[in-house]
Every structure is written in structure tokens, then in C-alpha cells.
Amino acid sequence: MKLRYDHPARRGFTLLELLLATVIGSIILAGLYLVMNMTVVQTQASRDSIDAESTSRAVFNKIGLDLSSVLGPVPPKSGGTPASGSTTGATTSSTSGTPTDSSAPTVPETDTSTETTPTDGTEGTTQNFPFQVGVLGTSTQLTIFASRVPNILSTPGALAQSTDTNQQPSDLVRIDYWKGTGGLCRQERPWVTADQTGNSFSFDLSNETTGLIADDVTEVLFEYHDGTSWVQTWEGGSGTIPTPPVAVRVTLSFSLTNAKGGNPIVRTVSQTIAIRTAPGSTVPELVDPVMPAETTPAEGEMTTGGAK
């Protein structure tokens, strides 16, 4: 008689159970991967947006600070010796029309520009603008004439150092913004020593590397408000006195890397910056006093000393 030992039944999983468990585990891992991937993509997109927002805010703040120190318009003349620009215009008008004294009332009309040949057709490319023009620009370039505290006054001990009396610091600067090949560029130079300061849109573009302030800017647009509408070119206004615009609207376009691997994402931001020194849409007329040399003897007898 043989003895039989009762062994417990061996426990295990069937092939169907193993396949089902594998499928369930794969679904769970795939879900976790998708969640992690979405988190990484959203994080990268948020960082790119924050970088673009920080860059645009810094650029707008920089332009706003520069525009806050823009020189105001030239005040109307109330008397005394006229400016150098008006004397050149007066001499040219007097030499060309000395036989006729009827041109005296038209002297204020010639004080809006420093050119002596107003009939020249190339005025837009080589025109020299008068002092304190404030803002010049096109849709892609912005030139600001501002007043700043000289570095010699803001640096401790700078006044005590021996300096050349022929080279005194100036508080007038010219600031240029333009879209270069590498991004948005800025250039600041002393006004009195800068080359081509009287030309409307000409300045040195060779130092783009040192003047680059935002390398991720792909497009830039400057617009100027004249009190009624937006224009894309500003050459001192249309009044008798060249003035800065009421406001400048700056639009920047950034090219952001697409985290999903597609085309780059273009983000556009815009901000309107008001100019506090702008006189608005109403510009005071320029009052140019009549010089004694331009008056006739009869008029001089009536006006000198109040005696007739």
C-alpha cells in the first residue's frame, strides 16, 4: 500500500491575467508620461512668455525714461535778438529782396527751418532741424533729444579732478532706437559732439553689437500721435514750432521657441507712452520781433522813443 501525501495546490496567474496586468500597467505609465510631458511643455512655454514679458517691460521702461526727459518745444519769441537760425533766414531774405520792403511781414514764416533754400526738393533727406526738436522718427527708427544730468555731476569727486576747460560736459544727449540684424539696438551720445545731429534719420549703425539691448526682438514698430491720429513718421510736427508728439506707441514682436517642435511662436506686445513735454494739438504761434535794421526811416521815426 502506497502512502499518498497531500501537497497544497500551487498558486499562480494564468496567461490571460498576465496579459491583462501588462496592458493596465502600460496604460498607467503612458498616462503618467503624458502628464509629465504636458507639465514640461507648459513650464517651458510659461518661462518663454515670462522672458518675453520681462524683456518687453524692460524695453518699454527704458524708452519711457528716455521720453520723460525729452526737451520741450522752443518757446515763442517775445523780444530781443533772434536765434541764429532766424538770422540766417533774415539775411537771405533781405539780400534777395532789398528793393521791396513789403516782405517784412513775412519774416516769421521763414523761422521754421534753418535751411536758406526752402524751395529745394531734397528737404526730406538732408533737412537740418532746429534746436530742441524733441523727437524724430519713422516706423522703424526713433530718435530722442533729451536732457540728462552730466556724469561729472553725478559722480562723487569728479568735479575736483582736473579737466580740460575746453571740453566741458553737456547735459544734452541724442538717443537712437532701431531694429538691427540681431535685435533691438539703442545708442546714446552727447548731442554737441555727435555726428549728423541735424539730420533727421542719419546716425552711426556700426556699433550694433555694443548697442544691442534685446536680441529676441524680431520686429519693431514706432507710431506717433499728433493729437488726432496715429502716424508712422514724425519730423517735429506740422505747427510753426517743431514739437514732440503727444504720445509714442511702441510695438515689439518676439519669436519664441515652440516647445512642441513646430514653427516658432510669434508674440506681439504694445504699449503707449505719453510725452509730458508735448504741448498737445494746439501749438502757439511764433512771434518774431521786427529788427530796427529791417524797418524804413519813416517807421523808425514813429517807433523810436515814442516820438513822431
pLDDT band at 49; cut points 50, 70, 90: confident
Average pLDDT over residues 161-182: 74
Judged by DSSP in three states, 245 sits in coil
Residue 295 · residue 109 · CB < 8 Å = no
How buried is residue 211: exposed, middle or buried, by Cβ count under 10 Å (0-12/13-18/19+)? buried
The residue among 260, 258, 235 whose CA lies nearest residue 245 is: 235
Average pLDDT over residues 179-204: 71
Residue 297, Cα to own-chain centre: how many angstroms? Answer: 52
pLDDT band at 222; cut points 50, 70, 90: very high
Q: Which residue shows C-alpha cell 531774405? A: 93
Q: Which residues pair with 175 in a beta bridge?
A: 144, 188
- pTM for the model stands at 0.60
Higher pLDDT, 268 or 239: 268
Average pLDDT over residues 44-69: 87
pLDDT reported for residue 105: 40
What are 193's three cell numbers? 559732439
State how far the Cα of 120 lies from the Cα of 124, in Å rounded to an integer.
10
List CB contacts of 127: < 8 A, sequence separation 6 or more: 113, 115, 199, 200, 235
How buried is residue 59: exposed, middle or buried, by Cβ count under 10 Å (0-12/13-18/19+)? buried
Residue 9, pLDDT > 60, answer yes
pLDDT band at 13; cut points 50, 70, 90: confident
Of the ranges 78-82, 113-117, 202-206, 279-283, which is most confident?
202-206
pLDDT reported for residue 33: 96
Q: Where are the domains of the chain?
A: 16-96+128-150+170-283
Residue 279, pLDDT > 90, answer no
Residue 180, pLDDT > 90, answer no
Exposure string for 259-279, b = 16+ CB within 10 A, e = fewer: beeeeebebebebebebebbb
Residue 143, pLDDT > 70, answer yes
pLDDT reported for residue 35: 95
Least confident of 1-15, 61-75, 109-123, 211-225: 109-123
pLDDT band at 255; cut points 50, 70, 90: confident
